[in-house]
Structure 1
């Protein structure tokens, strides 16, 4: 059980759990089109053991059971994502009615159970036909994405409590186009620079299109990391500032200030699209709330061997999760307060927070992790951050992208052979928090 109580967070604070379509749905039938993660996972060496999301947690068929788990835990809201290729198989054009029917059932099922639907439009499953046209490297994606957003608003908007445009644009752009660890797996600085701009241009274009359709309560979800120098050397401090610029400031400044950090613009140089500065009013379109995903910190050292971005994370001394990330709740407090102090005041939601832990129902380290990070949220509120919600990642063990099924983040254990769900101790801890306060 947690030592914190629900009423400490405020009377209107939202507690929820989060998932993503490709990671849990499966159901690659009924007219769903191909996504970039289908081909990326089918390419040898890209995912652990060649795992893919073809079956995942079979949420496409088992969603009533999963929503029952959400309700029984006492959560207020369910953060889920739409699968773009399930709704518009080619990315543009013909709508898949069976996909619309699925999300109708899912959203109505949330409402029937008293769960507020918090929707994400894009959690990394780009339709493959759009990748064939350049994907996030192609400026036209801003229009493609806005048209998709309008469809979602027209079909489901009257039942959604909140909508986020894009989940973790750093992962969409940098992790997937420079590091190459996620689909589409590029390692190209020009592709990266274009994706870094177009992902935020698409966000702003979609927000404007959604508002024209009457949508309310719109935001974006950024993954942020507390960046700290590995040593006190000037070189490591400079590398840390650079890393923070690529990971945090590019997206915070772009969305919340309508400008990109000058040091990163200079470093990207001619790789950025021509005329990108003319788009900044759209990139900085006002939003109603900001989602922050937080898992760990990065200790940064200077790395002269990579002149494009001479900064590399190094292993830290703190206790680590099963995926190798340091457990550092102070970083969550620091980031929430930083965003609150350095940018325009907005309601902030912790839209993902959790840890990978070894398989099993008894997960005391995860219970301790959540308790420490819930306390970090309380401390951020005490310091003035307007934090209005917290979503645990994740409801279910699931397909963890390049890690396949080897890393388990779920509050609920999933036996992937039988699809049996078994609540863990961490699920019971949230249940106690949410029912007994």
Structure 2
């Protein structure tokens, strides 16, 4: 770990809650969402799916999780799981080929679909929809609806057995598919036709996350690296269908990247990652090294990772079923200390600039009338103390001389009137000019 991250002037994450018995088996995925005015955390593990309510206490930066509802249970392990952006729809696929669906609205609706063994391996939910896409080892990508046994659409996909993860873009136009060999294929969501291919990793791609309202996305891999790629900034040697170069490479993990989440409140400028060696790092998208290392108590791979909607807390879940909550520096928080706002002080240069270039506004005239009326008496007393023969002229570097030059009869030159009288020595008679000479 980089010792520079432990310096006193760098904000550090703080462990505020620990839960060991919420799940009996390993965590597959976690998603923190808002349910009205409440922060909810949806967890999917190898034994069940649960809805947790989070209670935040700003006085001591603590947060408690309370199990509100057990959404569904199953016996077989879960291969893949996904949750909609609003948290109302959860889909999990088991290794036995069963699709478990949970729809949360006014009540909890459960559905279980059995398409067949290995006919639903990976899953990705379309944004703002109850439609989802699964990969089938029979060689197809299938579009499914909630509680439907028959696919809406299915398209042939040659590399279906090489799929390691799937993720839809935020606008739902593209479907990103990660492969076991390190490649990433971007497909048109409406046709499942290839849009672009990214050959940027050398090993299995485990996680893909799109940045908030952006055309860029992150990919985490078994090669210990996280890479940023773009949908538009693309092309190598004129080839607009494939690339071998990433926009940015993030390197700090010492094992496979198993978790990846983007802080939506930061508008996509901050994200967190976790690894199989229990590491958690927080990153800024413009920096290739972490801005924070999160000290945790996990001893297994961390697969569940999510920011709270307020961005002040981070949740993590490991293969042991352990769930931890951390207090992290928030993004865009209001300062807890009230700030005193002082009026602007106008500099001398600004005052002269206004006098020479701008006519006085109604506000300045009103302020002058109100602010200086009470000082007239003081000005009169001050003027009485000044000697009557004293001449005072205000200095203005932009103004013309207020005392016009006058011709002196004795020396025939132009001089300015001054406050002191100046005596000049007369020219000797022998040096005077005689025109008759």
TM over 0.5: no
When you count helix as a share of all residues, which structure comes out higher? 1
Q: Which has the larger radius of gyration?
A: 2
Structure showing greater relative contact order (alpha-carbon pairs closer than 8 Å, 6 or more residues apart): 1
When you count strand as a share of all residues, which structure comes out higher? 2
